[in-house]
Amino acid sequence: MAPIAAPDMIVPGIDDVIADAQHHGVDSAGEHSMVLNMGPQHPSTHGVLRLVLEIDGESVVSLAPDIGYLHTGIEKTCEAKFYQQVVPLTDRIDYLCPMTNNLAYCLAVEKLLEIEIPERAQVLRVLLNELTRIQSHLVWLGTHAMDIGALTVFLYCFREREEILRIFEALSGQRMMTSYFRVGGIALEPPLGFAEWVQRFLNDMPDKIQEYENLLTANPIWMGRIKGVGYLSKEDVIALGVTGPPARASGIDWDLRRDMPYSGYEKFKFAVPISTDGDVWARYVVRMLEMRESVKICQQALDVFTSMPVTRLTADAPKIVLPDREQMKTQMESLIHHFKIVTEGFAVPAGEVYVGIESPRGEMGYYVVSDGTAKPYRVHMRNPSFATLQALETMCKGRLLADVVAVIGSIDIVLGEIDR
C-alpha cells in the first residue's frame, strides 16, 4: 500500500500509520520512526481502545484509533425489543452515566408519543442527572489523575462516588445500571429519607471538591504534566464534532442545558464555565467548575422537589405507563392495561425524532424512528466520546508519547458508548 499523506484534519487509518512509518523507515535522510501498538489492554485507555502510533523517538508522528472491541450491537438489539424494554439497554451504553442515557431515550420516545410528564418527575430527573454528572466527573478526575501518577486523588474521588452510588441503590435497587426512568415518568417513588440523604451529600460536596483541588490544582507536577498539552483550537472543535467540556475548554460557549433546554432545565440558574486555553489544563478547570455548578443545580432541584406535594411521578397515560401495584390488584381496567403493556407493548405513532442532551462527556443524542408498531424501527445513539475521539490525532500530533495518556484522560473517554 502506497503511503498516504493524510490531510491535516482527517484521522488516518491504521494502515496509513503503518505504511507511513515504513516509508519513513527507508527514508534516504536516515530518519527513523517506529510503530507502537498501545492497547487494547492498556490501563490508560479506560476500556478497550487500541491506538496505533507512529513515533519518532518519543514524539508522536501520527496516530490512529482502532475501536469496536466492545461492539455488542445494541442498536440492532433495540429493534427487537418493545419500547419499554430498551431502557435497560441504554444503561449499558455509557456505564458511567446511566441516568443520562435513560433520560435521553425517554425524552425521545415521549416526544414521539407527544406526552407530557408531571413537573415533579421532571425535577427529579434533573436532580438525578446532575448527581450522575458529579459521579461521572469524579470517576474522570480519579482515573485521569491516576494515569498521570497521582493515586491519592483516585481514592478520595471514589469515596464520594460511592455515596452517590448508594443513593442510586436506595432509589432503584441498582448501583450502576439503574434503569430508573421510564417512558412517561419515573419507575418508583424515592424511598423515605432520600431528600435528607441527598441534602447531607450536597452540604459536604463543595468541601470535598476543595479537597481534590488542594491535592491537584496548585501541584507543580500536575500543572507541569497538563498545562499546554493537547491543544485543540476553537475551529478544530467545530470541524471535528467535539462537544461538552472539551469544547467549552476551547472557548465554545454552548451547553444544551442552557441553549436548547430539556426536562425543565430552563427553570434552573447555573453558569456555564468556559475557558479559551484549549489544553488539558483547561478541560480540568472546566470540569471542576462544572461539578460545583452541578451541586448548585442539585440544591435547587432538591428544594423544588421537597416543596412539591407528593403526586404521581408518571404521566396520566394508562396505555403507556404501568399502573400502580395497588390499582392493578383492585381495578379490572388497570389489570388489563398492565397485561397489555407487558405482553404487547404500546404502539408509538410513526415518525422520527432526535433528542440531544448534555451528558457529562458532551452531547448525547438519541435518534428514534418509529413505524407505528410497539418496537422501535431504528434507534441510533449519538455519543460524545465517539466524535471526540476523532480529535485525538489533532491533539497528540507532534507531542510526547506520555502526553497521549494525559490527553486520553482529559477527553474522558468511555469505550462502552463509542462501540455500543
Partner 1 sequence: MGGTPTPLPVPTPGATAESPGPHPGPEPGPSGTGQREYPKEAIYGKDAVFAAIPWNKAVTALGELVTDAKWDRQELTVTVAKENIIASCQAVQAAGYNFFEDMTAVDWYPQEPRIQLSYHIVSYGLKERIRLAVRLDSTDLTVDSITSVWPASNFYEREVFDLFGVNFSGHPGLTRIMMPPDWKGNPLRKDYPVEGYR
3-class DSSP assignment, residue 37: strand
Contacts of 216 (CB under 8 A, 6+ apart): 145, 150, 153, 222, 284
Strand-pairing partners, residue 354, are 367
**Chain residues 335-354 in contact with partner 1, contact rule CB under 8 A:** 351-354
Sign, CA dihedral 166-172-177-182, equals negative
Q: Which residue type is seen at 413?
A: I
* Phi, then psi, of 399 in degrees rounded to 5: -100, 175
Angle made by CA atoms 158, 160, 163, in degrees to the nearest 5: 110
**Chain residues 148-207 in contact with partner 1, contact rule CB under 8 A:** none
CA 182/CA 169 separation, integer angstroms: 17
The span of 27-35, 224-232, 282-290, 310-318 binding partner 1 (CB under 8 A) equals 282-290
Q: Does 9 bind partner 1 (CB under 8 A)?
A: yes
Q: How far is the CB of 387 from partner 1 (least distance, A)?
A: 6
**Chain residues 49-68 in contact with partner 1, contact rule CB under 8 A:** 67-68
Q: Does 2 bind partner 1 (CB under 8 A)?
A: no
Among 204, 266, 303, 316, binds partner 1 (CB under 8 A): 266
Q: Between helices 401-410 and 119-148, what is the axis angle to 10°?
A: 170
Binding mask 105-144 for partner 1 (x = CB under 8 A): ------xx-x------------------------------
Q: How far is the CB of 47 from partner 1 (least distance, A)?
A: 15
Closer to partner 1 at the Cβ: 11 or 195?
A: 11
Q: Does 269 bind partner 1 (CB under 8 A)?
A: yes
Among 54, 358, 363, 412, binds partner 1 (CB under 8 A): 363
Q: Does 104 bind partner 1 (CB under 8 A)?
A: no
**Contact at 8 Å (CB) between 381 and 75?**
yes
Q: How far is the CB of 97 from partner 1 (least distance, A)?
A: 18
CA dist list (Å): 2 to 6, 17, 309: 12, 11, 70
Q: Which residue type is seen at 417?
A: E
Closer to partner 1 at the Cβ: 251 or 324?
A: 251
CA 370/CA 108 separation, integer angstroms: 11
Q: Cell 457529562 belongs to which residue?
A: 360
Q: Does 257 bind partner 1 (CB under 8 A)?
A: yes
The span of 43-51, 186-194, 270-278, 314-322 binding partner 1 (CB under 8 A) equals 270-278
Among 36, 272, 400, 401, binds partner 1 (CB under 8 A): 272
